[in-house]
Amino acid sequence: MTGTPTERADPIGDNAHSPVEGIVHRYQDRVLLKLVNVCAVYCRFCFRREMVGPGRQMLSAQHLDAALAYVAAHPEIWEVILTGGDPLVLSARRLGEVIRRIAAIDHVKIVRLHTRLPVVSPHKITPALVRALKAPAKTTYMALHANHPRELTPAVRAACARIVDAGIPMVSQSVLLRGVNDDGPTLEALMRAFVECRIKPYYLHHGDLAPGTSHFRTTLGEGQALMRALRSRVSGLAQPAYVLDIPGGYGKVPAGPGYIDMCGDAGAMVEDINGVKRQYAQPSFRGTPPISGLPEIGR
């Protein structure tokens, strides 16, 4: 399918924030480390479809050395996010080696992996692979990408349980896709399924402007309406952040509906989960607020 004039080969601007091969440094305290350009499955809506696919490979040893040297030279980097491609297509040995090298960088405290492998090949989530994910003296998180509740089969749930039982917290990311999950019951079932698997819903992405994907994209208004419906149907545990990655490399921003209209200093009008406007009076202080610093015990 051909693209529309607004679609881009690099829709979220990775290239503009790639100081060395394999690194994307868009946000100050974290970087993406794109270890591999291959996946266990190729999604038609992929925003990296121009650089992911058969015939690609892992970063060369030279490029990996340069990428890790960049991380080591930037003490503001608190989190390294392994992505690609899908980092879990690597063997337990190779993945473990990379994670150990990241763990040797003192200022990096969090290692996060983004993957679809537990969904598409749950049998590959072996004890050896799970052991390889844990970074010595660091915290490992895993973000699982799934878009429909039917993807979370018993085998997938068992694979996720192996990861969580090993002490690796899991979060989710999904893409809002027209004709796939753009209705209230499906989105509700997906988020509930994540929570049942001990996976915290994290991101619901608005579709990126990848070439040939316009038929999958909803409008922002449709996405906001779905998030309003979700707010009234499931608990906070099952609420993802609906986000838009601004084209051109300007980062992710919350795209969900607004519930509060400010009314100057007097207060605000707050919309409840049923769409009814409620008045909220804000406190008004003259001079120094009556309480400063830590609250007193028993207050």
Pick the catalytic residue from 10, 14, 48, 197. 48
Pick the catalytic residue from 14, 26, 138, 192. 26
Backbone angles phi, psi at 151, to 5 degrees: -70, -25
Identify whether the C-beta of residue 207 lies closer than 8 Å to the C-beta of residue 243: no
- Whole-angstrom distance, CA of residue 299 vs CA of residue 95: 51
Pick the catalytic residue from 46, 101, 162, 202. 46
Is 245 catalytic? The answer is yes
Is 272 catalytic? The answer is no
| Tokens at 222, concatenated | 């449709």
Backbone angles phi, psi at 208, to 5 degrees: -80, 165
| Of 227, 235, 218, nearest in space to 258 by CA | 227
Is 157 catalytic? The answer is no
Pick the catalytic residue from 34, 39, 116, 192. 39
Is 286 catalytic? The answer is no
H-type alpha helices, the chain: 61-72, 92-103, 117-120, 127-133, 154-165, 184-196, 220-233
Pick the catalytic residue from 10, 86, 182, 245. 245
Is 197 catalytic? The answer is no
Opening angle at CA 160, ends 159 and 163, nearest 5? 95
What's the chain's Rg over C-alpha atoms?
A: 21
Is 43 catalytic? The answer is yes
Is 30 catalytic? The answer is yes
Backbone angles phi, psi at 34, to 5 degrees: -90, 90
Identify whether the C-beta of residue 25 lies closer than 8 Å to the C-beta of residue 186: no
- Whole-angstrom distance, CA of residue 84 vs CA of residue 273: 38
Pick the catalytic residue from 10, 34, 43, 217. 43
| Tokens at 197, concatenated | 């698997």
Is 46 catalytic? The answer is yes
Residues 38-61 as b/e (b if ≥16 CB within 10 A, e otherwise) read: bbbeebebbbbbeebeeeeebbee
Pick the catalytic residue from 208, 217, 228, 242. 208
As annotated, the active-site residues are 26-27, 30, 39, 43, 46, 48, 208, 245, 252
